[in-house]
Homo-oligomer: A and B are copies of this chain.
Amino acid sequence: MRLSIRYAFDAHLHLRRGDMLRRVLPQTLPWCDRALVMPNTDPPILTAQDAEAYRQEILAAGRSNFEVLMTIKLVPSTTPKIIREARAANVLAGKYYPKNTTTNSADGVEDIHSLYPVFEAMEEIGMVLCLHGEMPNTCCLDSEVKFLGTLKALANDFPRLKIVMEHISTEAAVRTVKRLPDTVAATITPHHLFLTIDDVCGGKLHPHQFCKPVPKRRPDREALIDAAMSGNPKFFLGTDSAPHPQSMKECAEGAPGIFNAPVALPLLAQRFEEEDDRAFPQLLEDFTSRFGAQFYNLTLNQRFLVIERSPWKVPLEYDGIVPFKAGETIPWKLA
């Protein structure tokens, strides 16, 4: 079986910089026409200038018709002026990281209320707020659920601010996003449709299945699959593909992040087909291309690629980076 499908919009992508950028971007280009690129690089993307320099670096490593959508990182020193300048330079979103919750977040925000003037500016000029929605200093199993009160408060306090709760991992987050106004959406990763906590630290410890937020229980995974396939435009793809060198994963203190770019679309096709073999092509395209574009006010991608149901073995590594499902045989591939 072959399927012609629109190129995807990856609404949550880590491309890193320099050498790492050049190693990982080629795995996104074959199936992705545009991506919203995360700003937690080292050093971070904090201003219009940073974003423009980073955009040029990505374009130079990429392809002329690959649309690079930029974000800046919201840190304690971010001001409304920085926001306005960034928006004028075509930065689409600002990303909130609670302090010390994920890769390169030591400069994150301790009190989200300190960012309220920044959120006001974002609301006024139409910049999207992307949230790493985990409550700091909270058990990793509960941190997303405990953050949902903050999400509700933000939606209430900034009724015209567009908000994306990124990489949701719980049934409770699905329910909350559904109930909130249409200004609030969520991204879902491919790996959260496959993993539970047992795949991280059940029988064995699996660094290449370790990410933030940590995968939860089966009912959470089921709720995410249902949401991704519901046709509800609040839920769309953000791969959160997050590469680390093998040596940073297989060590005494493994970094969170799953490099899924080489397998994201094939895995989504697999999961969607398993759940609904008749409706899945349309549901898949809506999830990977349409709903994200709608939320970010982008025109719909007009290029198509072909994927086919033809088993292939995922390579053990891509240039020193171990991908999700390394060494496993999966049923769909890019044609």
Contact = CB atoms under 8 A, between A and B. Distances in A.
Interface of A: 100-101, 139-141, 196-198, 200-208, 210, 214, 217-218, 249-256, 322, 326
19 contacts: A100-B203, A139-B196, A139-B198, A140-B197, A140-B198, A140-B201, A140-B203, A141-B197, A200-B205, A201-B214, A202-B214, A204-B255, A205-B205, A205-B255, A205-B256, A206-B253, A207-B207, A208-B252, A252-B326
Given A200-B201, A201-B201, A201-B214, 20 more contacts: A139-B196, A139-B197, A139-B198, A139-B217, A139-B218, A140-B198, A140-B201, A141-B141, A197-B201, A200-B205, A203-B256, A204-B253, A205-B205, A205-B210, A205-B253, A205-B255, A207-B207, A207-B254, A208-B252, A249-B252
Given A139-B197, A197-B140, A200-B201, A322 B252 contact: yes
> Most B CB atoms within 10 A — which of A100, A101, A252?
A252
A207 to B, nearest CB: 5
Contacts of A139: 196-198, 202, 217-218
A178 B56 CA distance: 65
A134 B251 CA distance: 28
A253 B207 CA distance: 7
A279 to B, nearest CB: 30
In the A-B complex, the 6 residue pairs with the smallest Cβ-Cβ separation, listed nearest first, are A205-B254, A140-B202, A204-B253, A205-B210, A201-B201, A250-B251
Given A100-B203, A201-B200, A205-B205, A217 B141 contact: yes
Contacts of A101: 203
Contacts of A141: 141, 197, 217
Nearest to A198: B140
Nearest to A255: B204
Contacts of A254: 204-207
A120 to B, nearest CB: 31
Nearest to A215: B201
Contacts of A217: 139, 141
A102 to B, nearest CB: 8
A262 B200 CA distance: 28
A188 B222 CA distance: 35
Contacts of A255: 204-205
A202 B101 CA distance: 9
Given A251-B250, A252-B322, A205 B207 contact: yes
A83 to B, nearest CB: 29
B252 A206 contact: yes
A254 B206 CA distance: 6
> Most B CB atoms within 10 A — which of A198, A210, A217?
A198
